[in-house]
Amino acid sequence: MQFVHYDRRMTSATFASPEPAPAVSLKQDAGIITLVGLAHASSHFSHLLLPLMFPVFLKEFGLSYSELGLLMTVFFTVSGSGQALAGFVVDRIGARPLLFSSISMLLAACVAASVATGYLGLMGVAALLGLGNAAFHPVDFTILNQRISAPRLGYAFSAHGLTGNLGWAVAPVFLVGISSLAGWRWAYVAAAVLYALVALLLLLHRDKLLTKVALRHPQATPGNDLAFMKLPVVWWCFSFFLLSTMTLAVVQSFAVPILKALHGVSLETATLTLTAYMLCGAAGVLVGGFIAARTRHSERVVAACMGMGALFLALCATGVFGVTGTMVVLAATGFAIGIGGPSRDMMIKKATPKGATGRVYGLVYSGLDVGFALAPVLFGVFMDRGWYAAVLLGAAMALAISVFAALGVGRRTTA
């Protein structure tokens, strides 16, 4: 197989890869998984810090959906660029320093949001949030791949995806709840306090987050560091993340106003539907972890789940199920996509050359940020024109195309 041959050549010529994680106790693995999961939840929580306040910003600052979408484009452009670079830094200095830097920047962004007085201030918040979000995936997966024993790695990926979805699910309840009681500025202050508590907990257990640095061969050159980018499978993975994430960006950014516009539901009801989507996604990830641990062809699981999610979203666009039915089917979409999450991470692991975990995950997962950056601007124009059903249908189409990307990854990593 061509991919395996290239993988060996790059590894032996460039890196002395860290040894695989030795067999350790369940308690130790569980502790590491919990800490990394908490960090991942913090990252996903940051994704919704701005979108959940879009209805407030519309009235407070007189902004359009296109302008609000541009905020998220800034967030994810900074995050995506930073994530690709963060992968190199993780491989050079280890994961832990970047983790603490990221949490600190998210905390600072929340403080800045609480005192923002206009669009320019919100732009600065978006950039700072993106910078803080950038390092989490290369950091998390480097820690998990190095510190978790091999038999439990599939379950670790499941827990990682589960906590990410829980971070999304908690954000609407946390921010909208506090905002309704004390105002949106205090909601951001409370978020800053939450990040401070997370940072303190990670600091107290920092020994569990230590990773080994990939040792460079004396004759290694900068070109060797970039050799993994010549692998077609890496770019197929990137494409999958870009496409599938555009769908998620639509749901996160516009599901609430779409439900309000098409079905006349209240802000609270629409927000609870978004929370249900995230919780169902978390449940799907939990189920998907068992599937990923027992399935050889991860890409087939991913393709099936994304295909089902695309069908559900297309049905939501038609409105055929009415108000309650549409909200239920939208939540079910989260479950279908969530099942594919752990298999997706196993699919990426198979495509990762040894000694290049941080860089590959950094580049591949930057596709997630690119998708998040493109979707709000593209579909924000649709929203301004009142094409609400078309937004859902476009999201379904992007998810359907991602099926072919997943199968393309499988063809290039399976003998």
* pLDDT digit string, tens, across residues 143-176: 887 777 777 777 787 788 788 878 888 888 899 8
Instruction: Write down the pLDDT at residue 356.
Output: 59
- The pair of three-digit structure tokens given for residue 47, joined into one six-digit string: 């994704």
pLDDT band per the 50, 70, 90 thresholds, residue 193: very high
Query: Phi and psi dihedrals of 95, rounded to 5?
Result: -85, -35
Residue spans of the domains in the chain: they are 24-210+228-413
Q: Which of 398, 44, 86 has the alpha carbon at shortest distance from 246? A: 398
Task: Read off the pLDDT of residues 369-412 as tens digits, 9 standing for 90 and up.
Answer: 788 778 877 888 888 888 989 999 999 999 999 888 888 777 76
Give the fold, CATH level 3, of 24-210+228-413: Growth Hormone; Chain: A; (1.20.1250)
Contact 270, 260 (CB under 8 A): yes
Check pLDDT > 70 for residue 300: yes
Check pLDDT > 90 for residue 56: no
* Residues paired with residue 215 on neighbouring β-strands, in sequence order: 16
* Lookup result for tokens 């941080």: 358
Contact 213, 92 (CB under 8 A): yes
Query: Phi and psi dihedrals of 356, rounded to 5?
Result: -125, 25
- The pair of three-digit structure tokens given for residue 132, joined into one six-digit string: 């803080």
- The pair of three-digit structure tokens given for residue 46, joined into one six-digit string: 């940051």
End-to-end CA distance of the chain: 6
pLDDT band per the 50, 70, 90 thresholds, residue 357: low
Distance CA 320, CA 25 (A): 51
Contact 67, 58 (CB under 8 A): no
Low-confidence winner among 70-79, 83-92, 323-332 (lowest mean pLDDT): 83-92
Q: For the residues 184-191, what does the mean pLDDT come to?
A: 94
Instruction: Write down the pLDDT at residue 354.
Output: 64
Q: Which of 192, 215, 285 has the alpha carbon at shortest distance from 17? A: 215
* Lookup result for tokens 């909208």: 176
pLDDT: which is higher, 217 or 148: 148
Fill in the DSSP letter of residue 352.
P
Size of the chain in residues: 415
Q: What does the buried/exposed string (b/e) look like for 104-137 if buried means 16 or more CB atoms within 10 Å of the residue's CB?
A: ebbbbbbbbbbebeebeebbebbbbbbbbbbbbb
Q: For the residues 274-297, what does the mean pLDDT come to?
A: 83
pTM score, whole prediction: 0.70
Instruction: Write down the pLDDT at residue 198.
Output: 94
Helix 388-413 / helix 322-350 crossing angle, nearest 10 deg:
20
Fill in the DSSP letter of residue 209.
G
Question: DSSP 3-state helix, strand, coil percentages of the chain (rounded to 5)?
Answer: 85, 0, 15
Q: Where are the alpha helices (DSSP H) in 183-221?
A: 184-204
Instruction: Write down the pLDDT at residue 138.
Output: 82
Instruction: Write down the pLDDT at residue 6.
Output: 34
